[in-house]
A and B are shown apart, each in its own frame.
Chain A
Amino acid sequence: MNWGSEMTDKTEIASITDEAFLDDLFQSARSVDLDDAQNDGFMARMMADAFDAQDDLLAVPETTAASELAPRRSWLRAFSDAIGGWPSFAGMAVATLAGIWIGMTPPAGLTDLAPLALADTESTALVEAFGFATGFDSLQEEG
């Protein structure tokens, strides 16, 4: 406790009288007669409170553990969250329907192209048929 430092800010108070008045009031507050705090009943209650508080603190992890046992998210919900939610599902559905539609009613050009792509010798024919230049011909000519 440091009563001596009280004088340092005296100049901050507007009037010496005000300062003395405040000091007088502070002195009244300091002079209060304190009861004996070591009252047995009070201390016993404080001790019981402390033990109860400890028990409550130790019970907190159990509460946390219980919350961890709460129903887990379904795998569908987790998957949905992982791919971005219902908009992604909508996109996937459209793509699936488009695939089925193309499979059932393929465009005419696709049916012609498929046997060429799957045959052994078609790579040359495909290049020739569609006029794709590989670039190797010109390189060979340049030597």
Chain B
Amino acid sequence: MPFDCTTPEDEAMLLAKFAAGDRTAARVLTQRFAPISLSFAMRKIGNRSVAEDIAQEALLRLWKISGDWEKGRARISTWLYQVVSNLCVDWYRKQKETGQGTDDLPEPATESSDGAEAKLQHNARLYALYDALGRLPERQRLAVEMRHIEGYSNPEIAAALGVGVEAVESLTARGKRALAAQLVGKQDELGFRDD
């Protein structure tokens, strides 16, 4: 299949074709990566409109560098994840600066305890988590998010961040320690019960 998109080489080839003006490559890449970008953003930003704007910006950045994409580079999805994550951190910071609440945060997929209170608790948890993540150094934040929220493997994260697997483990461990230090004392406030 001329426009398969399953390996890094496929992706590099598609981006090269994109940069050369190939409309079919543009369709394949957009259909594959626009939903992924939107999902990344939606997981962090509950507001669909904001998430779409962030996904749109991330893809525009991808198109801009399409001609310079290197074959040995990380997968497009992990590259997009980093861009979306950084844009989301910016959004959270702006929300905080402007005193916006947590109304726009995403809904839980499965509400074990239905009701407005559970939703508020869920939003407060996400806000606290992403606020704390946003304070971490970028690589620590990305390593923690990609591993513990998005579920990427350490080798995938290593490729995305351009570091070794051991460095990813170190980044993740330090990131979690820093997160724990920031969130200590908020267990009760955020409804955590250590059973």
- A residues near B (Cβ < 8 Å) are 1-3, 5-6, 8-9, 12-15, 17-26, 28-35, 37-38, 42-43, 45-47, 49-51, 53-55, 57-58
Contact = CB atoms under 8 A, between A and B. Distances in A.
5 contacts: A6-B147, A9-B169, A18-B184, A22-B180, A31-B108
A57 B63 contact: yes
Chain B contact residues (Cβ within 8 angstroms of A): what range? 35 or more
Interface in B7-54: 18-19, 21, 23, 26-27, 29-31, 34-36, 38-39, 42-44, 46, 48, 52
A19 B192 CA distance: 12
Given A42-B52, A49-B56, A57-B67, A21 B180 contact: yes
Given A18-B183, A58-B21, 5 more contacts: A9-B169, A28-B122, A28-B129, A32-B107, A43-B35
Contact of B183 (A2, A22, A38, A43): A22
Interface of B: 18-19, 21, 23, 26-27, 29-31, 34-36, 38-39, 42-44, 46, 48, 52, 55-56, 59-60, 63-64, 66-67, 106-110, 122, 125-126, 128-130, 147-154, 156, 169, 172-174, 176-177, 179-180, 183-184, 187, 190, 192, 194
Contact of A25 (B153, B172, B177, B183): B183
A46 B30 contact: yes
Contact of A32 (B26, B109, B184): B109
B152 A33 contact: no
| Interface of chain A: mostly helix, strand, loop or mixed | helix
Given A2-B151, A58-B21, A33 B26 contact: no
Contacts of A54: 18-19, 21, 23, 26, 63
Nearest to B26: A50
The 10 closest A-B pairs by CB, nearest first: A1-B151, A37-B35, A53-B63, A12-B173, A2-B153, A18-B180, A33-B109, A46-B34, A32-B106, A50-B26
| Interface of chain B: mostly helix, strand, loop or mixed | helix
Contact of A14 (B18, B27, B180): B180
Contact of A42 (B34, B151, B180, B187): B34
A90 B30 CA distance: 63
Contact of B194 (A17, A47, A55): A17
